[in-house]
Chains A and B, each alone.
Chain A
Amino acid sequence: MGALVNQLPIGLSIAAVLLLIALGLTFTFGQMGVINMAHGEFIMAGAYTAYLLQGLTSQSFLIALPVAFAVAGLMGLLLEWSLIRRFYGRPLDTLLLTWGVSLVLQQLARDVFGAPNVQVTAPGWLVGGVDLLGVRLPYNRMFIVVLAVVCVVGVWLYLTRLPAGRRMRAVVQDRELAAYSGIATGRVDRFTFLLGSGLAGVAGVALTLVGPVGPGLGTFYIVDAFLVVVAGGLGQLRGAVLAAVALGFLNSYLEFWTDASLAKVLVFVAIIAFLQVRPQGMFVLKGRALV
Chain B
Amino acid sequence: MTLGRISLVVCVVLLALAPLTLSPFRLGLLAKYLCFAIVAVGIALAWGQGGMLTLGQGVFFGLGGYAMAMYLKLKEAGSAGLPDFMVWSGVEELPALWKPFGNPVFALAAVVLIPGVVAFLLGLLVFRQRVRGAYFAILSQALAAAFVILLIGQQGLTGGTNGMTNFSQFFGLDLTDPNGQRAVYAITALVLGATFLVAKLLVRSRFGRLLVAVRDGEDRVRFLGYDPAVVKTITFTISAVMAGLAGALFVPVVGIISPALLGIVPSLELLVGVAVGGRFVLAGAIAGAIAVNYAKTLFSEDFAEGWLYLQGGLFVLVLVFAPKGLAGVVESARDRLASRRQTGPAPVEVTA
Contacts and interface: CB of A to CB of B under 8 A. Distances in A.
Interface of A: 29, 33, 35, 83, 86-87, 90-93, 95-97, 99-104, 106-107, 110-111, 219, 223, 226-227, 229-230, 259-262, 264-265, 267-268, 271-272, 275-276, 279, 290-291
A243 to B, nearest CB: 13
B319 A100 contact: yes
B122 interface: yes
5 tightest Cβ-Cβ pairs between the two chains A and B: A261-B153, A100-B315, A103-B312, A279-B129, A104-B312
Contact of A95 (B137, B147, B309): B137
Contacts of A90: 323
A261 B152 contact: yes
B143 A268 contact: yes
B134 A92 contact: yes
Given A35-B137, A219-B264, A279-B130, A107 B312 contact: yes
Interface of B: 47, 51, 53, 122, 125-126, 129-131, 133-135, 137-139, 141-143, 145-147, 149-154, 219, 264-265, 268, 271, 275, 305, 308-309, 311-316, 319-320, 323
A92 to B, nearest CB: 4
Nearest to A87: B319
Contacts of B145: 223, 264
B53 A92 contact: yes
A89 to B, nearest CB: 12
Contacts of B122: 272
15 contacts: A83-B316, A100-B312, A101-B312, A103-B309, A107-B309, A223-B145, A230-B138, A262-B150, A264-B149, A264-B150, A267-B146, A268-B142, A268-B143, A275-B129, A291-B130
A259 B156 CA distance: 14
A102 B308 CA distance: 10
Given A33-B134, A95-B53, A226 B142 contact: yes
Contacts of A87: 319
A34 to B, nearest CB: 9
Most buried by A among B141, B147, B264: B141
B134 A35 contact: yes
A98 to B, nearest CB: 9
Contacts of B126: 272, 275
Among B146, B152, B320, which residue has the most Cβ atoms of chain A within 10 A? B146
